[in-house]
Amino acid sequence: MIASLMMANFEVYDVTMSDLQAKKITLDAFQGLVFPGGFSYADTLGSAKGWAAGILFSESLSTQFANFKSRNDTFSLGVCNGCQLMALLGWIDAEETKQVMKTQIFLDHNLSERFECRWSAVKINERATEDVWFRGMGGSVLGVWVAHGEGRFTVSDQQILSKLR
């Protein structure tokens, strides 16, 4: 992850949750956060649930992450467990549907009840072209690998889908 960000000319710092918990560094100086994949807390409680709990139930961490998210000069990316984390933190929810400590959008087990791995095509929405990740790419169709056991985007209320579109 770090190598790919460096190749894209990002200035990269490797900051761990332990660094944030020990207050060696804060998120105040950063504009971007990338939550990488991997089995956080060994997925003992479920995908990214231990990671999310470590943030949500720590006053200093939850404040740091909330402040980062509320700034208008920030961006984030979640890959694998990182995407699970963002869902559990409510960072994927549409602004008008957000509720405190209750996510409206989450990643659930695949309908096949199996790990799935495949090459998929994704289309970059025209509205996404203002985003740092997709600038100048509106309408592009890209091939991406998807590999997950819990990667089915699910909403708690079907009305949320219309708000996201």
Q: What percentage of residues in the chain have a pLDDT greater than 90?
A: 53
Calculate the average pLDDT of the chain: 87
Instruction: Tell me the mean pLDDT in the region 104-127.
Output: 90
Which pLDDT does position 165 carry in this prediction? 65
Which pLDDT does position 22 carry in this prediction? 95
Which pLDDT does position 99 carry in this prediction? 54
Please, which residues bridge with residue 99 across strands?
102
User: Which is more confidently placed, 38 or 68?
Assistant: 68
Please, which residues bridge with residue 33 across strands?
76
C-alpha 130/C-alpha 57 separation (Å) is 33
- Cβ atoms of residues 129 and 136 within 8 Å: yes
Closest CA to 12 of 3, 23, 24: 3
Amino acid at 73: D
- pLDDT over threshold 70, residue 115: yes
Instruction: Tell me the mean pLDDT in the region 38-48.
Output: 76
